[in-house]
Amino acid sequence: MIVDCAIYRHGHRTEGPEDLSDALEEARAAGGFVWIGLHEPSEREFDLVTREFGLHPLAVEDALKAHQRPKLEVYDDSLFLVLKPVVYEPESDTVSSGEVMIFIGDGFAVTVRHGEGSPLAAVRHRLEAEPELLDKGPTSVLYAISDAVVDHYLEVATELQTDLEELEAEVFQPETGGSRNTASRIYTFKRQVLAFRRATGPLAVPMTRLAGVGQLGGEVPFVNEKARPFFRDVSDHLMRVNESVDGLDRLVSDILSAHLAQMSVRQNDDMRKISAWAAMAAVPTMIAGIYGMNFEHMPELHWLWAYPVVIAVMAVLEVLLYRLFKRRGWL
């Protein structure tokens, strides 16, 4: 469905005509641009936008089907950018992602949003409050959405860092060293970090191109050259996010290894205790087994002090074994 449609002239909003073709012609004639926002449009709804703005069929297919990696593609009549906004859900400590596709071209910007996360109304209102930035044309829409998405990445990275610190404290508890579900929680957290990485990692190349830095930097069609410093700022923030994600991934792997090592040490301790008690139980069992045999010629059987002596020998051996195992830390 079409969420919003407006014409922007010299950084200010004016309501455009209902017909998209008339809106585009009016915007171009006035030196402005038209911005159309759509949310999970059907193929029939998007077909009208495709015809009026001459969008490339491959990009249209991506915008309709979604499930795309972040990328930047340049076509003859438009520029196509895919972003994956990330939403952190504190109740379940999970990360979910949506998708935002942005088309910009001569006198138009079209945004297509999939998922409930990251609504663009706040971005539009913030951009409308900055006429100087909005006056840069469709490039301002590209920048404002990219900036909002990447800034939210920083917030999600902070939340994940807090969760990781809680996991770390649980694993390194001096008494328990984590519960039975700790390994499952660590693995689930690692999956959340991986989902976060899928959104932030591939976006580095598109932002580098838009910022015009490095070997990939160069002139990008339909992007205002004066907007390069703004995209460099977004690229710097994204670099911080990716560094944070790399750090989270390494730390969670180390925590998982430490937890498994602790579990192995505790299992070894338990096995030592079981072995020690089994050895202590074996001594009286062996002695009792010997004297339980039905032999007639056993001199000790007819000795008056045989029974108390055997019991005393068992007790002394048990005490000696207990002290030996205790000294070695097995008990």
Who contacts 205 (Cβ-Cβ below 8 Å, separation ≥6)? Answer: 72, 216
Q: What does the pLDDT read at residue 275?
A: 78
Tell me the pLDDT band of 323, cut-offs 50, 70 and 90. Answer: confident
- Decide if pLDDT at 177 tops 60: no
Nearest alpha carbon to residue 204 among 195, 191, 190, 214: 214
- State which H helix or E strand residue 266 sits in: helix 228-291
In angstroms, rounded to a whole number, what is the distance separating the alpha carbons of residues 171 and 290? 49
In angstroms, rounded to a whole number, what is the distance separating the alpha carbons of residues 194 and 229? 30
Is the separation of the CB atoms in 245 and 196 below 8 Å?
yes
299-322 confidence digits (pLDDT tens): 776 777 777 777 888 788 888 877
pTM score: 0.77
220-234 confidence digits (pLDDT tens): 888 888 888 899 999
Q: Where are the beta strands (DSSP E) in the chain?
A: 2-9, 12-14, 33-39, 71-74, 78-83, 86-89, 94-97, 99-105, 108-114
Whole-number average pLDDT of the chain: 83
CA dihedral 272, 275, 281, 286 (to 10 degrees): -140
Nearest alpha carbon to residue 27 among 108, 105, 135, 113: 108
Q: Of 90-99, 147-156, 208-217, where does mean pLDDT reach its minimum?
A: 208-217
- Decide if pLDDT at 178 tops 60: no
CA distances from 38 to 83, 113, 119, 210, 319 (A): 15, 6, 11, 24, 81
- Decide if pLDDT at 199 tops 70: yes
Q: What does the pLDDT read at residue 200?
A: 92
- The residues with which 61 forms a beta bridge, in sequence order, are none
Angle made by CA atoms 111, 114, 115, in degrees to the nearest 5: 135
- Decide if pLDDT at 83 tops 60: yes
Tell me the pLDDT band of 103, cut-offs 50, 70 and 90. Answer: very high
Q: What does the pLDDT read at residue 81?
A: 94
- Burial code (b: 16+ CB inside 10 Å, e: under 16) for 221-241 equals ebbbeebbebbbebbebbeeb
